[in-house]
Structure formats: C-alpha cells, structure tokens
Structure 1
Amino acid sequence: MNTYLELVIFSLIIGVGATIVMDIYAVIIKRFFNIASLDYRIVGRWIGHFKNGVFSHKNILQTAPIKNERALGWLAHYLIGISFAFLLLLIWGTGYAYQPTFWPAITIGLLTTIAPWFMMQPAFGFGIAASKTPNPALARFRSLKAHAIYGIGLYLAALLLSIALS
C-alpha cells in the first residue's frame, strides 16, 4: 500500500479508536464518580464563531450558542483525535502501526494537553492552563488524565490495527 494512503487510513483508524477510548473513560468517570468531562458544545460554539472573526471569548459559557454546536463540537473532537494520531504516525512512521509500542503513544497523548492548555482554554476565557477556573490544579490534573487515556487509546487502537494487519 502507498505510504501516504497508509498514513491517512491508519490515522483515521487509530485516531477514531483512541478518541473512542477517551470517550469511554469520560462515560465511566461520569457514571461512577459524577465527574463531567468537557461539553463538546463549547468546542462547537467556539468554532462556530470563527465565521464571524471571533476566535477568543471573555467567557465562552456566556457567548451566544450557535446552531448545531453539539454536532460541530463532536465532529471537531474526532477530527482532532485523528489529527494527533496523524502526528504520531508522522513522527514514528507508518511502521508504528505494524509494531506499536507504548511510549510513543503515551508521549503524544500527554503532549496533546498543550492544545487545550495553551490554545482552547485561553480562547474560551478560562485562562492559560485553566488559570481562571475555580480550581486550576484540578482542571489541569483532569486534563492530563484524559489525555493520558487518549495516549493509551492510541496504543490500544494501534495494537488492534497491528493484529488486523498481520
């Protein structure tokens, strides 16, 4: 198979798989510990306001909702998951999908925390690394945990793919 085609297909499979693992984790912690994860409507609202030239908000929760923000947010969530899987394969090569190892996946998973801390949370009006939230340390810890789970998901999805490829 063409390396570029492998890169795209493997990124889709691994990215969707890893994002599903992250979402399963979110359901588990909500059900058993009543800890809510990010409401992807907020992500959809943020992206939805791009068309108006608005890229940051004083407080996204007080910003006017947009049509289909939940669907847009979930689509963005999965596209972001696929993009980070693409990054994993871009750095370690498509051969990673044939022989996945844990450390590259968890490294990418943890590094993905940079996006919410330094881009999304400030743009939502929550400050750098959730510094303007009621409990920044807890928000940071939960973000790191969720992204570590995503990293584990990258590994598990790649492992399942490697089994399917063999």
Structure 2
Amino acid sequence: MSTEASYFLGAAVVGLGATLFMDLWALFLKRVFSIPSANYCMVGRWLRHMLDGTFMHASIAASSQKRLECTVGWVAHYAIGAVFAVTLVVLVSGGWLMRPTLLPAVLFGVGTVLLPFVIMHPSFGLGIAASRIPNPTQARLRSLMAHTVFGIGLYVCAVGVSYVLRVHA
C-alpha cells in the first residue's frame, strides 16, 4: 500500500475512533449526570429530507419522519468524523499522523464546532449556533465540549494509529 493510501486509511480510522471517543464521553455524561446525548436520528431525518429537495426546516423535530433516519444519522455521524480526520491530516501533513501532537488535534476539533453552528443548527430550525432555543448558551457549551473531546480523541487515536504505522513501515 502506498504511503498516501496508508495515511488516508489511518486518518479515516483516527476519525472513526475519535467519533467513538466523543460518543463514549456523551454516554458518560448521560449515565453520570443525566445530560441527554445528541439525537443523530435528526441528522438522518435532515439528510433524508434532502433527497426530496428540503434542506431547511422550521423545526426538524416536527418534520415528517423518514425511513431509516436513525441509521442514516449514525452512519453520517461516523462518516463526518472520518472526513474531519482526513481533513486534519491533509491540513497538517501525513507526518502528523506518524508523530501526532495534541495541540493541532484539539484546535481542529474545536474548529469543527463551526459546522453545526452555521450549517446544521440553522437547517434544523434552531438558528445560528442554536440561537432560537430556550437555552442557547447551554447548547453551545455542550457542542463546544463535545467537539473538544472529539479533538482529544483525534490525538489519542492518532497515537495508536502512529504506532501501527511505524511497526508496519
């Protein structure tokens, strides 16, 4: 396998692992503090409605349910995590994947919060950065924390992948 292909595959694995890391954090918050997790079924509903030409909703929760929306939402959640990690490796170089450092991963993870703030939240009818919900500050902080944990997960998983890449180099 070429070096580029190894980096691409390694980055995708890092993204899947970082997404799992973020989901385990959400599960911890739910079990210990009763903080509800994000509903990825709504992501699936949004994506499934796009096939009908509807990209913006007054309320995604009030929009009609779609077949397989939860499956589509969860698959999209992990696919987005993989794409984010590939993007990080492209931005900082494949060398980072061989010798990962924490700062680029965390900064990138924090930066990824902009996508839900400016694309998903408005499309779901929540306003920019959830400005239309009863407690937008709480939602913003929860999103920021989740994406920070994703960034930490990028680093943790990259450490594991870098070990595998070095052993098989």
| Correspondence 1:61-100 to 2 at 5 A | 61-100=61-100
Partner of 2:145: 145
Name the amino acid aligned to 1:136: P
Q: Could you report, residue by residue, the CA deviation over 1:74-108 in whole angstroms, capped at 9, with x for unpaired residues?
A: 00000100011011100111111110000110011
Q: Could you report, residue by residue, the CA deviation over 1:37-96 in whole angstroms, capped at 9, with x for unpaired residues?
A: 211000000000011100010000000010000000000000100011011100111111
Between the aligned partners of 1:60 and 1:125, the Cα distance in structure 2 is 6
Between the aligned partners of 1:7 and 1:122, the Cα distance in structure 2 is 34
Are the aligned partners of 2:100 and 2:158 in contact in 1 as well (CA < 8 Å)? yes
Between the aligned partners of 2:60 and 2:3, the Cα distance in structure 1 is 41
Report SS of the residue matched to 2:37. Answer: coil
Question: How many aligned residue pairs are there?
Answer: 166
Normalised TM-score (structure 1): 0.97
Q: CA deviation at 1:4?
A: 3.0
Gaps of 5+ in 1: none
Between the aligned partners of 1:95 and 1:8, the Cα distance in structure 2 is 12
Same amino acid, percent of matched pairs: 42
Between the aligned partners of 2:12 and 2:102, the Cα distance in structure 1 is 19
Normalised TM-score (structure 2): 0.96
Partner of 2:35: 35
Report SS of the residue matched to 2:58. Answer: coil
Gaps of 5+ in 2: none
Are the aligned partners of 1:6 and 1:94 in contact in 2 as well (CA < 8 Å)? no
| Correspondence 1:1-166 to 2 at 5 A | 1-166=1-166
Q: CA deviation at 1:3?
A: 3.7
Between the aligned partners of 1:5 and 1:47, the Cα distance in structure 2 is 29
Name the amino acid aligned to 1:90: V
Q: CA deviation at 1:8?
A: 2.0
Report SS of the residue matched to 1:22. Answer: helix
Are the aligned partners of 2:11 and 2:97 in contact in 1 as well (CA < 8 Å)? no
